[in-house]
Structure 1
Amino acid sequence: MKNLKNHKIDRPRLLIVGCGDVGMRLLPLLRGRFRVFATTSQQERCAELRAAGAVPLVANLDDPASLRRLTGLARWVIHLAPPPADGVLDSRTRHLTAILPEQARMVYVSTTGVYGDCGGALFDESRPVAPRNARALRRVDAERTLRRWATRSGAALSILRVPGIYAEDRLPLKRLQQGTPALVEADDVYTNHIHADDLAAIIVRALFGALPNRIYHAVDDSDMKMAHYFEAVADAFQMSRPPRLPRAELQQVVTPALLSFMSESRRLRNGRIKRELGVRLRYPTVGSLLGLLRNR
């Protein structure tokens, strides 16, 4: 019988690119099945990653030379790294695909922002992308780059389009404390959500069960407007609800980045993750978590 040390070495290798909060939630779900390697651009995070069960690798997606040691390292890949902060192209994803092996299996975590403003429409994954800002254009570029790579290399790619991620430690409490205004009902937009733990579970499901070159909406069952979300969080923590302003007034007091999030309204169907991946959400709605917090 193989000893434990050899058994660990014989496990397939998996690479997590960009191991932040969601990556850390993934590690307990994966380290028993894989020898997990996790990239970080910060040397000081190596001890944290090692303690969580990953082999840390210091690499910077903006520096192709730093990626050379990753060449062909793992055929299982989870790509969590965001695009660069500027431009309309994702050079980071281009650098990554240059060092990946052929016939890899990848899950890429994208964003629902690729759809742009949909006027509150309810839709599934068949809707064409229509990015409205540079941030979303970079994500569309990343998706297209990965599709070309998958076709060229025989890889199995799945893309998760992800909305606003929340968790107990990822709620807009600072915004509420600062009294940042929300939109009046007539101007408010529909927003989508997913709990960070549910997202981690969906990623694992996609890693093993997604159809090749398939897009999935990694969203929960919530159907709420943005101001209602802020009010629900405020009520759960016994904080003041945010003031509401018409859009014409609000755009004068919030940053352009925040205004862009408050200018896109859409509702995404999540039936595909349930039918094809067998996902059962631990937190079906934002209210599921807030109810637990209120009852403590």
Structure 2
Amino acid sequence: MIATRKLRRARVLIAGCGDVGLRCVPLLAHRAAAPRVIALSSQPARVTELRAAGTTPLIGDLDERRSLRRLAGLASTVLHLAPPQKTGDDDTRTRALIAALSAPRRSVARAVTSAVARQRAWRGWFRATFKSSKPAGANTRAKAIKRAPIVPDRVSSAAARGWPIRVVYASTSGVYGDCGGAWIDETRPVRPDNARAKRRVSAETQLRRAARRGVLNASIVRIPGIYAGNRLPLARLQKGTPALAPADDVYTNHIHADDLAAILVLAIRRAWPQRVVHASDDSELRMGEYFDRIADAFGLPRAPRVSREQAEAQLEPMMLSFMRESRRLQNTRLRDELRYTLRYPSIDDFLREARIDPTVTSIPVASPAG
């Protein structure tokens, strides 16, 4: 009986189970009907870590389609947290994931093949039986059977089960490009300014097209800069990397990694199909102000301020791309539709807790704000 219940447990596949994905695992485990969590990883060295976190590791590489064959029919829910590849405008990893998820399971394929064989055999028997003697109505029946479609050789596992796969995709607010510091909601048209954001738009487009085909049911969560105890720009501040002068500075948006994990798990049940939600906190900060708050909290010197022209000469292209985009995300859908209450409405709430609990910042890692 216990084994049977385990086999019947719902399965959640996490594609791209990094820091945020691992934060999702305990939240999934505490649900009323705790699903089995399967973590897709291209790194065999992470198997022990993923298993210790409570997942079932599965080795597969989104850059190698052959390694994804076992994904067909594996899970009814997918958290797609994997970033696109680093080159090109098309997200080939999302394309490979959709193809793997929508491929027929072997058991389904065998059943379909058997149905095709039986139907073809029935046609042959009917033609042979009524070739010479044709009783009344035989012609009509023969024509009806001839017109009857043979079951297609390829049918998606989702369609065979009768419902689409549920996908929650972690996208980025970078798809909007530069908005001049304006407040924007999820209806704002996308206008990516760089190849990285174009690949994200490509992934969103692919998921929506797959949803229209009935292959899956997708919701998109657009995410700004992520921070946490192990995702703070402390190394950047220690190096004295400059920030933009107030006159040239841009608005930036943030979300704590714990809040983001909770939002992604909640989106599985509450996010509307084919709809976008901003996973952003309530803060309204410019990038330099964000760095200053962290520097002051940890006793570090504030980042020196430079003009945009000076920044173009001193900073690497990745950081400059963030400094060219200014926007403020509205999170109305997060509150009203997902009905989520932020644990950290702003970076200040997190920093107050960090001062009380020094273990919050035990593993400082540089991370640009988005």
The SS at the match of 2:190 is: coil
**Pair 1:89-2:87 in alignment:** no
Q: Match for residue 66 of structure 1?
A: 67
Structure 2: distance between partners of 1:275 and 1:293: 29
In structure 2, runs of 5+ residues without a counterpart are: 103-157, 159-163, 358-370
For 2:55, give the aligned amino acid.
A
8 Å CA contact 1:31–1:54 kept in 2: the answer is no
**Pair 1:26-2:27 in alignment:** no
Structure 2: distance between partners of 1:150 and 1:77: 14
Q: Deviations over 1:155-183 (max 9, x none)?
A: 22100000000001110001001100000
8 Å CA contact 1:72–1:99 kept in 2: the answer is no
**Pair 1:257-2:255 in alignment:** no
- Structure 1 runs (4+) greater than 2 angstroms displaced: 5-9
Structure 2: distance between partners of 1:15 and 1:104: 11
Structure 1: distance between partners of 2:100 and 2:270: 24
8 Å CA contact 2:65–2:100 kept in 1: the answer is no
Q: Deviations over 1:111-132 (max 9, x none)?
A: 0000000000001101000000
The SS at the match of 2:213 is: helix
8 Å CA contact 1:115–1:128 kept in 2: the answer is yes
Q: Match for residue 288 of structure 1?
A: 349
Q: Match for residue 264 of structure 2?
A: 203
Structure 1: distance between partners of 2:18 and 2:7: 25
8 Å CA contact 1:120–1:265 kept in 2: the answer is yes
Structure 2: distance between partners of 1:62 and 1:209: 31
Q: Match for residue 189 of structure 1?
A: 250
Structure 2: distance between partners of 1:154 and 1:139: 20
The SS at the match of 2:313 is: coil
**Pair 1:13-2:74 in alignment:** no
Q: CA deviation at 1:154?
A: 4.7
Q: CA deviation at 1:8?
A: 2.7
The SS at the match of 2:88 is: coil
Structure 1: distance between partners of 2:240 and 2:172: 27
Q: Match for residue 157 of structure 1?
A: 218
Q: Deviations over 1:254-293 (max 9, x none)?
A: 0011101111000000010110011000001011111112
Q: CA deviation at 1:221?
A: 0.4
Q: Match for residue 46 of structure 2?
A: 45
**Pair 1:76-2:77 in alignment:** yes
The SS at the match of 2:277 is: strand
Structure 1: distance between partners of 2:6 and 2:336: 33
8 Å CA contact 1:75–1:100 kept in 2: the answer is no
Q: Percent of counterpart pairs with the same letter?
A: 56
- Segment of structure 1 superposing worse, 174-183 or 150-159: 150-159
Structure 2: distance between partners of 1:209 and 1:8: 25
Normalised TM-score (structure 2): 0.78
Alignment RMSD, CA only? 1.0
For 2:28, give the aligned amino acid.
L
Structure 1: distance between partners of 2:215 and 2:270: 17
Structure 1: distance between partners of 2:310 and 2:23: 39
**Pair 1:238-2:299 in alignment:** yes
Alignment counterpart, residue 189 of structure 2, candidates 128, 132, 142: 128
How many residue pairs get matched? 294
Structure 2: distance between partners of 1:236 and 1:291: 8
Alignment counterpart, residue 277 of structure 2, candidates 216, 224, 240: 216
For 2:212, give the aligned amino acid.
T
Structure 2: distance between partners of 1:23 and 1:204: 10
8 Å CA contact 1:18–1:39 kept in 2: the answer is yes
Structure 1: distance between partners of 2:311 and 2:215: 48
8 Å CA contact 2:15–2:79 kept in 1: the answer is yes
8 Å CA contact 2:11–2:77 kept in 1: the answer is yes
The SS at the match of 1:197 is: helix
The SS at the match of 1:250 is: helix
8 Å CA contact 2:88–2:199 kept in 1: the answer is yes
Alignment counterpart, residue 169 of structure 2, candidates 91, 100, 108: 108
Q: CA deviation at 1:21?
A: 0.3
The SS at the match of 2:247 is: helix
Structure 1: distance between partners of 2:87 and 2:299: 38
Q: Deviations over 1:30-54 (max 9, x none)?
A: 1351111111111010011111111
Gap change, CA 1:154 and 1:61, over 3 Å in 2: closer
Structure 2: distance between partners of 1:201 and 1:153: 27
